[in-house]
């Protein structure tokens, strides 16, 4: 039953059917399926499939757009549920989050933000296409513990390094930790640019953020 549900979820994204995706997300909540399982074992398989077709030239931008919109419709429903399940926690620390400038992919970044909030962090989600200096300035004014930078494009991930350099320039590099992630980002890349933390996914991002607080002595 759950397997059937997961494959229907993936198919709704492949078909770019936002209403169907939203309906399945709501049904999964009624059935007691963990929202994160619905995302990772259902909807993400669909969006990955469309992404692969797109990179092989077997799907075009409109299909990518429709898949992205259907994915957002489903994830919105599930994120609301995750937030509900994780409310009323003590705040561990604060994080400024955004998708780096030039990049408008927001589904994974928003999911990371939701998981961090549910995990007990105060999250300032600045959205997508966020200028480097906006991230750094917000972290400074909010005395944030961490800046979390998402990038989905090989052309934009290089700007994660600029965030670190911008912090350095204003003398806040040791006060504010930088965590990076996004589909093309690897642990090697994170090490190469001197990021403090890297996670492959949204669940791991919470554990990494907690480790960074420990590293800060909090
Ligand atoms: Co775009 N896109 N896209 N896209 N898109 C990719 C990324 C791509 C890999 C597709 C492909 O060719 N196979 C490719 C990038 C190639 C590359 O650079 N290596 C690509 C391209 C080329 C483009 C355009 C350039 C296409 C064009 O216009 N010709 C364009 C770029 C626009 C721009 O940003 N300037 C573009 C546009 C779009 C849409 C707008 C149509 C849409 C986005 C809709 C939206 O976000 N609102 C879209 C989509 C949907 C995708 C794919 C298919 C799916 C992305 C997604 O939402 N995944 C994607 C292919 C793919 O990844 N399979 C693709 C689901 C999401 C839950 O996963 O975002 O990876 P993800 O996040 C994960 C982890 O990465 C991690 O945790 C998340 C949850 O587990 N994570 C972090 C993310 N951020 C993190 C931060 C952290 C830690 C973990 O700490 C800070």
Close Cβ partners of 77 (under 8 Å, ≥ 6 residues apart): 22, 25, 26, 29
pLDDT score for 90? 59
Q: Is 150 in the pocket of ligand 1 (CB under 6 A)?
A: yes
Fold (CATH) for 2-85: 1.10.1240
Classify 93-216 by CATH class: alpha beta
Q: How far apart are CA 128 and CA 171, in angstroms?
A: 25
Buried b or exposed e, range 103-135, using 16+ CB within 10 angstroms = bebbbbbbbbbbbbbbbebebbbbebbbbbeeb
Domain boundaries, the chain: 2-85, 93-216
Mutation test residue for ligand 1: of 10, 25, 64, the one with most atoms within 8 Å of CB: 64
pLDDT along the chain (218 residues), means of 10: 92 96 96 92 92 88 88 90 70 94 95 82 95 98 97 98 97 96 98 97 90 85
Q: Residue whose CA is closest, atom 42 of ligand 1?
A: 68
Q: Is 208 in the pocket of ligand 1 (CB under 6 A)?
A: no
Q: Is 185 in the pocket of ligand 1 (CB under 6 A)?
A: no
Q: If you ran DSSP here, which 8-state letter would residue 123 be given?
A: E
> What is the chain's alpha carbon radius of gyration, rounded to the nearest angstrom?
18
Instruction: Select from 188, 198, 186 the least CA-distant residue to 148.
Output: 198
Q: Is 112 in the pocket of ligand 1 (CB under 6 A)?
A: yes
pLDDT score for 155? 98
Q: Is 135 in the pocket of ligand 1 (CB under 6 A)?
A: no
| Residue listed under structure tokens 């390094």 | 161
Q: Is 65 in the pocket of ligand 1 (CB under 6 A)?
A: yes
Q: Is 36 in the pocket of ligand 1 (CB under 6 A)?
A: no
Close Cβ partners of 171 (under 8 Å, ≥ 6 residues apart): none
User: Dihedral of the CA atoms 113, 204, 143, 166 (nearest 10)?
Assistant: -100
> Which ligand 1 atom sits nearest the alpha carbon of residue 104?
34
**Main-chain phi, psi angles of 47, to 5 degrees:** -70, -35
């Amino acid at each position: 039953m759950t397997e059937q549900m997961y494959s229907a979820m993936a198919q709704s994204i492949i078909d770019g059917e936002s209403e169907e995706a939203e309906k399945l997300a709501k049904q999964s909540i009624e059935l007691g399926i963990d929202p994160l399982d619905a995302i990772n074992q259902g909807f993400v398989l669909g969006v990955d499939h469309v992404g692969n077709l797109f990179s092989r030239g077997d799907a075009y931008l409109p299909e990518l757009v429709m898949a992205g919109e259907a994915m957002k419709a489903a994830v919105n429903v599930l994120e609301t549920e995750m937030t509900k399940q994780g409310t009323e926690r003590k705040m561990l620390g604060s994080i400024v989050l955004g998708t780096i400038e030039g990049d408008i992919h927001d589904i994974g970044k928003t999911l990371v933000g939701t998981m961090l909030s549910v995990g007990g962090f105060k999250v300032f989600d600045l959205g997508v296409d966020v200028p480097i200096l906006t991230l750094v300035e917000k972290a400074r004014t909010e005395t944030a513990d961490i800046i979390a930078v998402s990038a989905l494009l090989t052309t934009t991930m290089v700007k994660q390094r600029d965030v670190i350099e911008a912090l350095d320039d204003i003398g806040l590099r040791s006060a504010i930790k930088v965590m990076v992630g996004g589909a093309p980002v690897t642990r090697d890349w994170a090490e190469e640019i001197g990021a403090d933390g890297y996670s492959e996914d949204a669940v791991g991002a919470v554990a990494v953020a907690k480790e960074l607080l420990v590293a800060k002595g909090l």
